[in-house]
Amino acid sequence: MSTKINMSAWEYRQYTFEAWDSQLCWAYQATQDRRFDRYVAPVAQNYFWQTAEQRIRAQLDAWAHEGWEPTEAVASDAIVLEKLEQIEAAIGLESIFLWIVTCGIALIIQCLVGIQPRRYVVYKPKQFRMEMRRAQCVTVPIQREVLTLPVKAPSIYP
């Protein structure tokens, strides 16, 4: 018996990387307008990709030695993020520093307008998820046949 690789049939499996550092996070001070939040998530994904790319590629190479290949490009887009929002309404050291630097002008403006709470958005990596595939190996029996060809006698007439 012989093994034949059937290239028309694929076997699929999910590859996940979840060995993230528990302290790893990416945060920014957001504005009250949430329009810009969608532009920030790819930046966080790139940051997490830079920290874990070598470990992820090493595991993907091990999968490649077993015949697996990714169905899409290996990039930061495959990182699934957890988004946390924190609102800080208290006066912090940043506000006091701002008041000192602006000689109290920022304090007057904030009192007139109202002190806005700070909104922080924190991203944490949950997992790197990617679909992998490999060709299915199908065992096909090979039968050997003996072919006999009729031999045509040579003709004496052209």
Look at residue 142 and tell me whether its pLDDT is greater than 80.
Answer: no
E strand or H helix that includes residue 126: strand 118-140
State pTM to two decimals.
Answer: 0.69
The per-residue DSSP string of 31-67 comes to -S-GGGHHHHHHHHHHHHHHHHHHHHHHHHHHHHHTT
Domain spans, the chain: 2-89+118-138
Of 139 and 15, more confident: 15
What's the pLDDT score for residue 96?
A: 83
pLDDT tens, residue by residue, 5-61? 555 688 899 999 998 998 999 998 887 777 777 889 999 999 999 999 999 999 999
